[in-house]
Structure 1
């Protein structure tokens, strides 16, 4: 029987299957075209931002000032440093490495402090840098009470050590990290300001570094106290410091913990009877107790800051940091003399001989 209608079920099923394959093929082709188009657009955006000097560093931590410090370390390696400064923004902004070199000849400082870190995060960074910088013999940790509150809220690892190693010390290509840490919203937000911050045109948030990694801050005025009363002191913060102290003791490296100067009005406001800072002082001392190579300097109590020294409750202006760094250098000289004296005494008693 002749006819134009194919009533064979197998033929109909075959045509349906072929149609589905074409649909799936078209879908996959469209999906891959969209994906590669998006990647191409992202690459073009990176190239344009790089060309206009508006390209932020890869978002290892998703904190611009932390990522920018990694960017600095990548492009400004310090040859065989023997002094490592660690901590949060008060350590980053309160040390002038040139003054340390002038006042303590032979010192080769590396400021490895990052902004906005809690004490557990500062020790994480310290351990990373100590592993990478074997010539370091002295460690200075400059702290404020805010660093030792709320460590339980944040992870220790500020960034992935393996990736930071590759980026900073192995100088691997940076472009892959923009894809690994793909964050267009963060990228565009930081791109709006990073050029001005690097040029020191945003006075309250500059991303400017000295050759040692210090972070000068010299605004025209001040912003009041700015910081409220800190959270209660967190025992895990001091435990992190204690673990770092024990490591340094085992490796025969010195540790100097410095409590940074604080604005007198802030202290009067948040700690009128002095009990909070007394606990802070005692806990810092206890954390490093038992390590003969560790010392504590309460600069808030023993160093007199000029009247116009502070830009807020905890930060010094750069013009004052020179004097503070001179006092810090004196502390370093005293601890070194103490160490040498102990070595001579140990040698006279028959200890410590080669």
Structure 2
């Protein structure tokens, strides 16, 4: 041992037992100082309503929706809506309640999801909300591209369970999902988004979890030509349809209306959308799911769109009224065949 110590000294290494106390004091003091500064930052942002939610997914609109589900739960919902932004933005729960008094819709759609991720969220909510009797999925072609590169799990279910349903303290999650860069970027805008002051990207929810895009303006087509359709996306849809079929819960898939100018520009032959339509039907055909191609069957003016795929709220309300006529909220009917109406 003596020889080893002497050798270490000769090689210029430091004996751990002789680390200066001042160094350790500075190290731990710096760590606790940084932690205290971060906590003060969080409390300051909260006091001014500039505090984003914990970064479970590192997507502000998705994390904000989780925060909404935590703070404003829909008690005993019977209709679950899933999907990406078109399901979040195009569904008006009030229209369903008007058509079916006593219905309790829950909009569980999140922005920016691929179809496989929407199925992941749907399975999570179905496991957590046993009163759901029917599921509605509103989709667009972009949802069914690129699933191969998008992880199914958009968040950790255990953590989100504790946060949304267990009402665990939020502060620990800011440490677990430590992302100071995105925290500060989101803090710059989240207050205005919550106040509906950012026209095309508001973070405003109604009591059902819907996200109205209430604007009179448009932002052009915005979306270009979509990627090639991904078979993995349709496999994910089939898995959800099969689960609901086994459980005896009606499932309705709706292809959202698309801007006619976008279709004329990006799919003038109609081949891409015809393939999308046929692939949806193929994915659902072995189940009792119902399919409605609203892009073909529901007519609306060009002025209804704010871009290629998103409807302004006035049009979304009219769309939801038409949609209500095709749902059977609270009625479990396993004899309903798959149709494209």
| 1:106 and 2:102 are equivalent in the alignment | yes
Shift of 1:241: 0.2
- The alpha-carbon distance between structure 1 residues 133 and 17, as it changes in their structure 2 partners (threshold 3 A), is closer
Aligned in 2, Cα 1:79/1:21: closer, same or farther, shift over 3 Å? Answer: same
Instruction: Give, in whole Å, the separation in 1 of the partners of 2:162 and 2:277.
Output: 38
Q: TM-score, normalised by structure 1?
A: 0.89
- Mean alpha-carbon deviation: is it higher for 170-179 or for 219-228? 219-228
Offset at residue 29 of structure 1 (A): 1.8
The residue number in structure 2 matching 1:327 is 322
C-alpha distance in 2, partners of 1:270/1:95? 26
Q: Report how far residue 17 of structure 1 moved.
A: 11
Alignment-derived partner of residue 256 in structure 1: 252
Partner of 1:71: 67
1:339 counterpart = 2:326: no
Q: What residue in structure 1 maps to residue 281 of structure 2?
A: 285
Q: Provide, for residues 70-89 of structure 1, a one-character-per-residue CA deviation record: whole Å limited to 9, x for no partner.
A: 00000001110000000000
CA displacement 1:114-147 (0-9 Å, x = unmatched): 0000000000000000000000011000000000
Q: 1:20 to 1:271 in 2, by over 3 A?
A: closer
Structure 1 match to 2:339: none
The TM-score normalised by the length of structure 2 is 0.92
* Cα distance in structure 1, aligned partners of 2:16 and 2:250: 71
Q: Which residue is equivalent to 1:352?
A: none
Aligned to 1:4: none
Q: How does 1:229-308 map to 2 (within 5 A)?
A: 229-292=225-288, 294-308=289-303
Q: Secondary structure of the equivalent of 2:326?
A: helix
Query: In structure 1, what is the Cα distance between the partners aligned to 2:128 and 2:141?
Result: 28
| Superposed CA RMSD | 2.0
Alignment counterpart, residue 305 of structure 2, candidates 304, 310, 319:
310
Partner of 1:347: none
Aligned residue in 2 for 1:38: 34
- Displacement of 1:18 after TM fit? 11
Which sections of structure 1, spanning at least 5 residues, go unmatched? 1-9, 344-354
Q: CA deviation at 1:27?
A: 2.2
Q: Which residue of 2 is the match for residue 351 of structure 1?
A: none
Gaps of 5+ in 2: 1-5, 337-341
